[in-house]
Amino acid sequence: MRPKGRKSLQGVNINSYISLALIAALTTVLLSLYGDSTRSITESGKKLVQKVLRVINKTPKKRKVSKKKEDIVNNYEKLIMTYKTINKFETAIKKREGGGFMVRRAVGDKVDNVDPFLMLDHLGPTVYGPGEAIGAPDHPHRGFETVTYVIDGGIQHKDSVGNTGNLGPGWVQWMTAGSGVVHSEMPTDDLLKTGGRMEGFQLWVNLPKKFKMVPPRYQDTPPEKIPTVTSPDGNTTVKVIAGDCLGTNAAIETRIPIMFLDIKVNRGASFDVSIPENTNSFVYVWRGNGFLGSENRPVTMGQIAVLSGEGDAFQLKASNDSALHAFVIAGQPINEPIARYGPFVMNTFDEIEQAFSDFRSGKLGEIEGAAERRAKTDEAVNQSKNTGNWEKH
């Protein structure tokens, strides 16, 4: 028996604990604003909230009280978030790459690089006529990784170490060039023959010095193996290409900590995405329009926002008339010297000269049929010009 005058925690009015939890959460946030000097107090506040929630979990209650507990959790999570801000905002430039296809270069021009990310190209969307599809014939790489993500159409991949295959809609290829490889990225036979819509992306990821000369590696990942997760409100869908989101981990392995999310926010909805603090990160909108961050910065297709290192969350909001499709990409900065020329990314220009020497001497290998692929590309360019579609692409 309990001595008179004492009450079980379960016997106390649940509303008192709800109020206490909210006060503790707010106090935690206010204290956290003052930095490391109050870190221990902040942690104590968090522990108090967790303790109160444990009590509520053990307390018999009606459904409406359960809803209050859920609200406490959601509100507390929002309260302890610190939001990233936009450091730089640009519209990607258009330019021709490879055999002559048009891209929007989001990273690698106006935005020079976002360490460890060297380049992000948005191919298309382009609708090719028969015989017009253009690819990137044989070319070398050393010292970094390429991430190819196909939305529509198809890419036929071949390389100098014997890998070959087709990447269709939804496929991701994470290629570690490492010590060096020659590869080609051409339209699939069907796309070249009959034409059609082509849209995709290529992200270049730098490698630290210790990984620059590792053996080449490929992770060709079909769409069914790329995890997809939906937000609790059902209004946002996230494809987890690298890293994790909402407790779901990617299937693709990375050499350094990287997050690559393809996010779709339904029209009129918003989504707070968690981004590791003190990483370099950016948002690229590849379809639709909406608003970014606490600033509610209007954004549309082809625009990029480079985010602050401070903060651990960022808000994406779709407009009322369009869903918002955006990449949220973040990575741990390498903070090493970058020597870059054409298809090679090393730490010194002596290493760049060595890479060119190795390529010219055949040390990176070659792919049979190079002349044929170059000829097909030239024919596709001429066909596109003859039909008057060159400037449209």
Same domain flag for 144 and 41: no
172, β-bridge pairs: 149, 221
Predicted pLDDT at 110: 96
Kindly report, residue by residue over 124-169, the tens digit of the pLDDT: 999 999 999 999 999 999 999 999 999 999 999 999 999 899 999 9
Domain that holds residue 67: 13-80
Q: Is 152 contained in some domain?
A: yes
Whether residue 49 is predicted with pLDDT greater than 50 in this model: the reply is: no
Predicted pLDDT at 25: 53
Q: Which of 303, 331, 359 is the last residue of a domain?
A: 331
Whether residue 65 is predicted with pLDDT greater than 70 in this model: the reply is: no
The mean pLDDT of the chain is: 86
Same domain flag for 134 and 207: yes
Whether residue 75 is predicted with pLDDT greater than 60 in this model: the reply is: no
Query: Residue 331's closest CA among 191, 157, 145, 149?
Result: 145
Kindly report, residue by residue over 281-302, the tens digit of the pLDDT: 999 999 999 999 999 999 999 9
Phi/psi for 54 (5° steps) reads -65, -40
Same domain flag for 33 and 145: no
Same domain flag for 24 and 120: no
Same domain flag for 129 and 73: no
Region 353-378: mean pLDDT is 96
Predicted pLDDT at 58: 46
Whether residue 32 is predicted with pLDDT greater than 90 in this model: the reply is: no
Same domain flag for 195 and 175: yes
Same domain flag for 108 and 243: yes
Predicted pLDDT at 80: 67
pTM listed for this prediction: 0.81
Cα–Cα distance list, 146 to 127, 159, 330 (Å): 24, 13, 15
Kindly report, residue by residue over 304-342, the tens digit of the pLDDT: 999 999 999 999 999 999 999 999 999 999 999 999 999
Q: Which residues contact 126 (CB under 8 A, 6 or more apart)?
A: 101, 102, 197, 198, 199, 393
Q: Is 376 contained in some domain?
A: no
Q: Is 368 contained in some domain?
A: no
Q: Which of 280, 302, 331 is the last residue of a domain?
A: 331
Cβ pair 252, 246 in contact under 8 A: no
Q: Is 19 contained in some domain?
A: yes
Predicted pLDDT at 391: 87
Q: Is 210 contained in some domain?
A: yes
Q: Which of 309, 331, 353 is the last residue of a domain?
A: 331
Q: In CATH, what number is assigned to the domain containing residue 304?
A: 2.60.120.10
Number of domains observed in the structure of the chain: 2
289, β-bridge pairs: 300
- Greater confidence (295 vs 42) lies with 295
Whether residue 197 is predicted with pLDDT greater than 80 in this model: the reply is: yes
Q: Is 238 contained in some domain?
A: yes
Kindly report, residue by residue over 340-352, the tens digit of the pLDDT: 999 999 999 999 9
Q: Is 67 contained in some domain?
A: yes
Same domain flag for 118 and 67: no
Q: Determine the Cα–Cα distance for residues 187 and 191; give it in Å rounded to an integer.
A: 6
Same domain flag for 52 and 157: no
Any idea which residue has 């000369």 for tokens?
Answer: 213
Q: Is 164 contained in some domain?
A: yes
Phi/psi for 28 (5° steps) reads -60, -45
Same domain flag for 69 and 204: no
Position 105 confidence tier, pLDDT thresholds 50, 70, 90: very high
Same domain flag for 225 and 163: yes
Position 108 confidence tier, pLDDT thresholds 50, 70, 90: very high
Same domain flag for 243 and 129: yes
